[in-house]
Structures are given as structure tokens and as C-alpha cells.
């Protein structure tokens, strides 16, 4: 029996008609939900004054796609969204629960508790300027808005550096977002590229079942002791300074360094953290450095991060000559070239706590600049 084709999602607006809103939020991750909550608290009516468009089929933002072994005990702290604590939905044994299960449950409960107007799945194709309004073109019809809060994050834009020979490699090349389970690499030599938190977590798991090589562009910097709020604010301020000058944002961890946790100390004791510098080219069966030395690899796992998912905003011409988007506003969420647009979860607000604060600030500033309600 031939299965029936999936029923298409209903349109948001009739053909050739744009559904008018005051504010449209794109993305329902931490930053998008925070912005939606504050827009509602400030007086916008759901589905009439504002709406949230989410590209995923279910609540949870990027968390729903994380690898199964990532539990709440191994992730950075999940900060509460305004008005509802994470503990209320996480359960008694939260530390051992998969992050890909617990966080989506929390986001779903949050949307339901505050009756947030999230519509999904909706793919935003383009945002263009139309006089004093913005036109948002989607796969379910078009919308027109006076202001936009973009919270699309980075998950849809994995970054892999372009290196000579990548197309001739006979093994497998994967990115962090493709990782599921270390056992899939048993008996193979895995080269893990990247110096961030995810790279360390995957190196730890994979090195317990097979041989590994760790490669980073810069020597990793480990920090001891508690990471204080003052140090966190100082790190975020450095990232914020870059985007205020129109420079591409750097990750907060590139400023803070890596925590010297018991897991990291155990990796050091096992000899796993012998790091090699970045190679210059990829060969048929491995990699080669500039000095001619080579290393065989069956798998290259690129833990090289993500870039902001902003292609749909390209028609607005937000990017400047420095390669980034110049940001302004109290928490650097407002685009200098187009104050109608706020980016949350970008630059200094890429962390969960930063996303919360950015959502509140963006909502308040946008409402004020538009003269709402």
C-alpha cells in the first residue's frame, strides 16, 4: 500500500496577502521565548500584535537535536526563562536526563503556560524592507511587521573550514551536529578538530572506545577555580565590544577558556589531551601538516562550531565592511543599520543567561522605538 503524502501545513495568509503584525519573532529557542514573553508582558496581543515563527516541528530549539549522551549533568547550566523555573519541569533525577529530552519539555511547558503564539513548522525564506514595514516571506505565506526580533541561533549553520584535499578524503567527515554515539567509531582512528566545550566532551567519550587525535587551531587555555559572575561579565563585555564595532562575534568560551573540571583532569591522566596544531591539508587517508608529517584517520570530526543563521536577512544589507553586523542598544541587540531589527542569541547573548537578558532588552527597546502599545 502506498503511503499517503503528508498533509501540508495551513497557510498563515492567503496568496498575495501579507498578514500584518506589529512584531514578528523568528525562532523559538531560549532567546526567542524570552523575547515573546516580554512582548506579551508589555502589552502585545498574541496572534494579533505579535507572533513567533519556528522552523522546527516541535518545541526545544536546537536542544532537541543534541546527542543522546549529553545529559543535564554535562551541559552548561540551563538558566530559567522568566516566570517559570526549569526545576519545575526537570523532575527529581534531572541530572541524568538527556538534555535533548528535558529542555524541549521545559520549552513546551513554557509555551503552554504563557500561551505564547508559536507557529511551527515555518521556514522563513527572506526578510525584505517595504517602506516603513518589513516583509517576511515564509513557506506558509507572507507577513508584514513594523519590527523584527531575530532569534534563529546557529544550529542550522555548522562551520567546517575549507582545506585543500577535503574532497579526496576516503574516510568520513562529520560535524558536531551529526554526532550521536561514540560506539559508532569503535575500531577506527578519529581525528577531533576543535578547542571548545563540545570538542572536549566528544573527545572524552570517543577516546574511551577507540584511538583519537586532538587538533586545535590555537593552544587550549584551561582555567582553574570557580568561574565568577565578574569574570563572566568581563568575558561577555569583550564579545559585546566586537559587535558594537561591527566585527564578527567570537564565542564567549574563546574569551573565558575551558574549565579544568574533574572530567578534564581524568582525560589528562589518560593522556588524551595531547594536542596537535592545525594541519594544512587533507589526504586520501588522513591529514598532513606543513612540515610534511602525516596522520592516518578513518574519521574527521569537525567540532569547529557554528555561524549565525542569518541568510534570510541578507536582503536588508545589515552586514558592514568589517565582516560583521554593527550592533547598538543597551545590550547590543539592535542593528545599527536598521533599528527595526533586533538580533538576540547573537554575539554577547549567545549563552542561555545572555539570551534571557537580550530577549527582555530587545522587546522593551523595540516597543519603545515603535511607539507600542
Longest CA–CA span in the chain (Å) reads 65
Write the CATH number for 270.
Answer: 3.50.50.60
Residue 44 and residue 58 share a domain: yes
The neighbouring-strand residues paired with 145 are 21, 134
Assess if residue 357 is contained within a domain: yes
Q: Distance (Å, rounded) from C-alpha 18 to C-alpha 347?
A: 31
Instruction: Based on the fold, state whether residues 113 and 208 are members of the same structural domain.
Output: no
The answer as to whether 233 is a domain residue is no
**289 and 322 co-located in one domain:** no
Q: Given this model, what pLDDT does residue 1 score?
A: 45
Residue 241 lies in a domain: no
86 shares a domain with 59: yes
Q: Is 104 in the same domain as 184? A: no
**Residue ranges of the chain with pLDDT lower than 50?**
1-6, 93
Do 296 and 315 lie in one domain? The reply is no
Q: What is the pLDDT of residues 79-106, one digit of tens each?
A: 899 999 988 887 654 556 888 999 999 9
Beta strands 212-216 and 334-335, pairing class: unpaired
What was the pLDDT predicted at 236? 80
Which of 265, 284, 302 is where one domain is finished?
A: 302
Evaluate whether residue 264 is within a structural domain.
Answer: yes
From 268, 287, 302, give the residue that closes a domain. Answer: 302
Tell whether 176 and 138 lie within a shared domain: no
C-alpha to C-alpha distance for 177 and 202, rounded to whole angstroms: 11
Residue 238 inside a domain? The answer is no
Q: Are residues 310 and 297 in the same domain?
A: no
Please tell me whether residues 133 and 195 are part of one structural domain.
no
Are 100 and 70 within 8 A, CB to CB?
Answer: yes
The verdict on 75 and 191 lying in the same domain is no
Q: Are residues 130 and 191 in the same domain?
A: no
7 domain-assigned: no
What is the pLDDT, as a whole number, of residue 91?
65
Amino acid 96: pLDDT: 66
185 plus 292 within the same structural domain: yes
Quote the CA–CA distance of 94 and 96 in Å, as a whole number: 5
pLDDT at 206: 98
The reply to whether 232 falls in a domain is no
- Looking at the structure of the chain, the number of domains it has is 2
Euclidean distance between CA atoms 318 and 340, whole angstroms: 11
Find the domain containing 296 and state its range.
166-221+257-302
Q: Confirm whether 333 is domain-assigned.
A: yes
Amino acid at each position: 500500500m502506498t503511503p499517503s503524502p503528508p498533509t501540508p501545513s495551513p497557510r498563515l495568509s492567503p496568496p498575495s496577502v501579507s498578514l500584518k503584525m506589529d512584531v514578528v519573532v523568528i525562532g523559538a529557542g531560549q532567546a526567542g521565548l524570552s523575547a515573546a514573553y516580554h512582548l506579551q508582558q508589555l502589552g502585545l496581543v498574541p496572534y494579533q500584535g505579535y507572533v513567533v515563527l519556528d522552523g522546527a516541528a516541535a518545541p526545544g530549539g536546537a536542544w532537541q537535536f543534541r546527542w543522546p549522551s549529553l545529559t543535564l549533568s554535562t551541559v552548561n547550566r540551563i538558566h530559567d526563562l522568566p516566570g517559570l523555573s526549569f526545576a519545575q519541569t526537570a523532575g527529581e533525577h534531572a541530572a541524568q536526563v538527556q538534555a535533548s529530552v528535558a529542555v524541549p519539555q521545559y520549552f513546551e511547558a513554557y509555551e503552554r503556560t504563557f500561551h505564547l503564539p508559536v507557529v511551527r513548522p515555518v521556514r522563513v525564506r527572506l526578510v525584505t524592507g517595504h517602506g516603513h514595514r518589513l516583509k517576511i516571506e515564509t513557506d506558509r505565506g507572507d507577513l508584514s511587521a513594523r519590527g523584527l526580533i531575530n532569534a534563529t541561533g546557529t544550529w542550522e549553520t555548522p562551520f567546517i573550514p575549507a582545506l585543500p584535499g577535503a574532497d579526496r578524503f576516503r574516510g568520513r567527515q562529520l560535524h558536531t551536529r551529526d554526532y550521536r554515539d561514540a560506539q559508532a567509531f569503535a575500531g577506527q582512528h578519529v581525528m577531533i578538530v576543535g578547542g571548545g566545550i563540545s570538542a572536549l566532551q566528544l573527545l572524552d567519550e570517543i577516546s574511551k572506545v577507540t584511538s583519537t587525535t586532538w587538533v586545535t587551531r590555537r593552544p587550549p587555555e584551561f582555567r582553574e577555580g570557580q568561574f565568577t559572575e565578574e569574570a563572566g561579565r568581563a568575558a561577555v563585555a569583550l564579545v559585546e565590544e566586537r559587535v558594537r564595532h561591527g566585527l564578527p562575534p567570537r564565542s564567549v568560551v574563546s574569551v573565558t577558556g575551558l574549565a579544568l573540571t574533574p572530567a578534564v583532569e581524568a582525560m589528562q591522566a589518560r593522556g588524551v589531551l595531547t594536542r596537535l596544531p592545525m594541519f594544512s591539508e587533507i589526504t586520501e587517508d588522513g591529514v598532513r601538516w606543513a612540515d610534511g608529517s602525516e596522520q592516518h584517520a578513518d574519521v574527521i570530526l569537525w567540532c569547529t562550531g557554528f555561524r549565525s543563521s542569518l541568510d534570510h536577512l541578507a536582503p536588508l544589507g545589515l552586514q558592514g565592511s568589517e565582516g560583521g553586523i554593527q550592533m547598538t542598544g543597551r545590550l547590543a541587540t539592535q542593528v545599527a543599520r536598521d533599528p527595526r531589527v533586533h538580533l538576540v542569541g547573537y554575539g554577547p547573548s549567545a549563552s542561555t543567561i545572555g539570551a534571557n537578558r537580550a530577549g527582555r532588552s530587545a522587546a522593551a527597546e523595540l516597543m519603545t522605538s515603535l511607539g507600542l502599545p
